[in-house]
């Protein structure tokens, strides 16, 4: 009976943790013809998320929204390969100057910088679209949401690598605050991130405002 009540409490915590806060903020340059931008690249995902696997997932979620808006985003693997070849450091890409230089090398008119200052029970995110020619911010969006807790966090166990806790609880994760070991987002984290990104990108002007929205396969 105690086990049943405990699992019910956990379920309620997980469900309750998925609600988004209604505090997204966005702004864009009204004097810019975004139809001339089109090809873009996400050059930096900075902040609390250290895992490259998770960053790839976040980039994919952003690119889904960009494609629906008519943009042609450069695949993240290609971006990383080109920047690695030119010996870019992540700290450089987080600045407007570094992002502009990266965009020039990638031969795109504009680049995205994504910052995730908080990741855990609370998730916050900021995205900026920067003109490669002059470093001017063309668009900026900000949003946040409740990340919720995994079963490991609820019980205060944490991931210890190969411990009995892992064997008992299977594939549940303790989050990404682990120094960047390559751990991907959980299903719940992906869902929350997708909702935040969708809300942030609502005000991002479409390349062709009259274009038909793509159908999602899910």
Judged against a pLDDT cut of 60, whether residue 141 lies above it is answered with yes
pLDDT in tens, 69-80: 999 999 999 999
Residue 145's nearest CA partner among 164, 119, 111, 178 is 119
pLDDT in tens, 9-29: 444 444 444 443 334 455 766
Residue 114, pLDDT score: 96
Instruction: Read off the tokens for 15.
Output: 């469900």
Question: What is the phi/psi pair of residue 47, to 5°?
Answer: 115, -140
Distance CA 30, CA 211 (A): 19
Q: Indicate the CATH number for domain 24-203.
A: 3.40.50.10610
Residue 81, pLDDT score: 93
Residue 215, pLDDT score: 39
Higher-pLDDT residue of 167 and 21 is: 21
Instruction: Read off the tokens for 108.
Output: 């795109």
Residue 147, pLDDT score: 73
Residue 155, pLDDT score: 34
pTM: 0.71
Where do the structural domains in the chain lie, given as residue ranges? 24-203
Helix and strand totals (H; E) in the chain: 8, 6
The H or E element spanning position 63 is helix 52-68
Distance CA 40, CA 131 (A): 10
Output the average pLDDT for the chain.
75
């Amino acid at each position: 009976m105690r086990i049943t009540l405990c699992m019910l409490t956990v379920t309620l915590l997980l469900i309750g943790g998925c609600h988004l806060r209604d505090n997204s903020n966005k702004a864009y340059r009204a004097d810019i013809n975004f139809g001339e931008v089109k090809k873009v690249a996400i050059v930096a995902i900075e902040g609390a998320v250290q895992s490259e696997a998770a960053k790839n997932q976040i980039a994919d979620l952003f690119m889904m929204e960009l494609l629906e808006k008519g943009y042609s985003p450069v695949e993240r693997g290609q971006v990383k390969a080109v920047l690695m070849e030119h010996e870019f450091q992540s700290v450089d890409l987080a600045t407007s100057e570094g992002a502009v230089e990266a965009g020039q090398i990638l031969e795109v008119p504009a680049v995205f910088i994504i910052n995730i200052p908080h990741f855990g029970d609370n998730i916050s995110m900021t995205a900026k679209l920067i003109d490669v020619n002059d470093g001017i911010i063309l668009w900026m969006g900000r949003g946040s949401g409740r990340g919720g807790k995994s079963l490991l966090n609820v019980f205060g166990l944490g991931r210890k690598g190969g411990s009995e806790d892992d064997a008992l609880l299977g594939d549940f994760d303790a989050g990404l605050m682990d120094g960047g070991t390559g751990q991907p987002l959980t299903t719940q984290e992906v869902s929350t991130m997708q909702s935040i990104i969708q809300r942030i990108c609502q005000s991002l002007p479409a390349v062709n405002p009259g274009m038909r929205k793509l159908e999602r396969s899910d």
